[in-house]
Each structure stands twice: as C-alpha cells, then as structure tokens.
Amino acid sequence: MAKFTPLHDRILVRRIEEGETTRGGIIIPDSAKEKPQEGEVISAGKGKINEEGKVRPLDVKEGDRILFGKYSGTEIKLDGQDYIIMREEEVLGILSGAAKKETAGSRK
C-alpha cells in the first residue's frame, strides 16, 4: 500500500466488518438504530494545533481498534482497499483487549 499520512487531527481507518469481530467484542442489540462501526487505525496525523501554536498529540495511534459512528468520515479507496479518513473527534472510543493477532494476520 502507498504510505498515506493524514494531516493534523485526521486518522486513516480500515473498517472491520461484523464477521471479523472477536467473541469478546461488544454486543449491541439489533434494536439500536445506528450501530457504531468498528475499525483499525492504519495511520494518524501528528495532532491538532491549539491557540498557543502547540501541537496536541492524538489519543489514538496506529493499530488501535476503535468505534465510530456509521456516517463518520470520508470513504476513500487506496490501492483497491476501502478506508475512511476521519477527525479524531469522530472516534467514539478505543477498544482495548481486542484480539490484535487476528487483525495483524488479516493484513496483506
């Protein structure tokens, strides 16, 4: 894959389909109108510049499993793969304890 580095507070995310979710994953009832989407952070920008001109680093980093809203970000295609570019503020949270081995093994 061509190296893509998001700018500022943006991150590049690969959506993880529901079938890939681990057994210990979060279970959301079907009655929920808008299920959060799960993804893996592929790359992240350096951070947002505050009023004082200092860069505030992002809370998410490459390799993190995250949850985000269904309509978050902008979908793009890089080297035939689908990705989403979004701002860090669109991330709902970071999943810890997710099986990283499965994710790493599914990369090509």
**Residue 57 in domain:** yes
Identify the domain containing residue 82 by its residue range: 10-102
**Residue 68 in domain:** yes
**Residue 107 in domain:** no
pTM above 0.75, yes or no: no
Residue 76 — very low, low, confident or very high, per pLDDT cuts 50/70/90?
very high
**Residue 92 in domain:** yes
What pLDDT, on the 0 to 100 scale, is given for residue 26? 63
Query: CATH no. for residue 71?
Result: 2.30.33.40
**Residue 108 in domain:** no
Q: What total of structural domains would you count in the chain? A: 1
- What does the CA dihedral 14, 17, 20, 24 come to, rounded to 10 degrees? 100
Instruction: Find, among 31, 21, 14, 16, the residue nearest to 97 by Cα.
Output: 21
Mean pLDDT of 61-65: 95
